[in-house]
Chain A
């Protein structure tokens, strides 16, 4: 193992002398040449100085990748939004309804929704993510089958809903009835687990801006999700990404849609309070 690691370090050092730079860049994210997004802002108070500034993952990507997000045509994530816009109008389930039957025009009814999710749902007495709420509507109001938590269809819909909050600051509540879950998520974030004995903070708070092999570590913000990742050429939801991250630290990973990840999503979202929702983003 050691030999391979040293070789990797040597290979890295020799093959990529350019990557001495560590910090995120200073570029501005302007979409379609008209909408400027807030991608850097003062850290929310609850972070207690752990970070000075919070930054979108956009800043840590190469220029080519950044450019892909700046135009709705170039952004392949927008293909998903189009597919979801059709699904929005499609009748499904025993009640003969589509999303549009109750919610009308997504552009109006979904404005600002993504910015405050995950959030506490009084009637259900639980913190809900967007995926959970979509499935609740489908099951209980449309009489349709729930969608698999990490399915393409549900991620597409989350992208459509996220787009309606694009440019608005993330603002999830961390107090009141949501507080217990938030505390749980915070504890998960800072707990070291797995063979590599890493916590989320090990990389994303203590080492953002550094290179991990050939990846430029970000702060792990999720204001850009769902993210079209070049790596798998598709849209990825938050829990799917969490699952991969935890697995890569060689820890036993958690189930997408399960309480652990809901708590983590609430906490991680709150770390980005103030950053703009980016609609579907483009990442590595």
Chain B
């Protein structure tokens, strides 16, 4: 488990039915690319978050395959359609097998 990995989400608390809302996500993660070398010349192995998904009430909003060219502290901004009251679930999958999640409830008037 990579240490100190913290997700942050920016999502509206309320929306109108069928409205497209803007979501922003940030997660603290080094995203070790596998390109860097140690002082002794050996390559520091790749260790990144390789996938990010966002779902609303179980339906997919976006599923991102990530490579080592995504910067440290991966940041995404995208839109989701909110048809009814429910919960947004965000999941990040680490190379080392760890899975990080965060969620936000959205109320539809």
Tell me if B24 and A79 are in contact (CB < 8 A): no
Tell me if A74 and B6 are in contact (CB < 8 A): no
Contact with B along A236-264 (1 / 0, CB 8 A): 00000000000000000000000000000
The 5 closest A-B pairs by CB, nearest first: A233-B72, A79-B28, A73-B10, A76-B73, A73-B24
Given contacts A76-B28, A79-B26, 6 further A-B contacts (CB under 8 A): A73-B8, A73-B26, A74-B26, A76-B73, A233-B72, A234-B72
Given known A-B contacts A73-B10, A73-B26, A76-B26, A83 and B4 have beta carbons under 8 A apart: yes
Name the A residues within 8 Å of B71 (CB-CB).
Answer: 233
B78 within 8 A of A: no
Which of A73, A82, A234 has the most CB atoms of chain B within a 10 A radius of its CB? Answer: A73
Name the B residues within 8 Å of A233 (CB-CB).
Answer: 71-73
B interface residues, how many (CB within 8 angstroms): 11
Give A208-253 interface residues, CB cut-off 8 Å to B: 233-234
* Minimal beta-carbon separation of A106 from chain B (angstroms): 18
Give A66-100 interface residues, CB cut-off 8 Å to B: 73-74, 76, 79, 82-83
Given known A-B contacts A233-B71, A234-B72, A82 and B6 have beta carbons under 8 A apart: yes
Give B29-70 interface residues, CB cut-off 8 Å to A: none
Tell me if B75 and A74 are in contact (CB < 8 A): yes
Complex: chain B residue closest to A78, CB-CB: B8
Contact with B along A53-75 (1 / 0, CB 8 A): 00000000000000000000110
Tell me if B8 and A79 are in contact (CB < 8 A): yes
Contact with A along B8-29 (1 / 0, CB 8 A): 1010000000000000101010
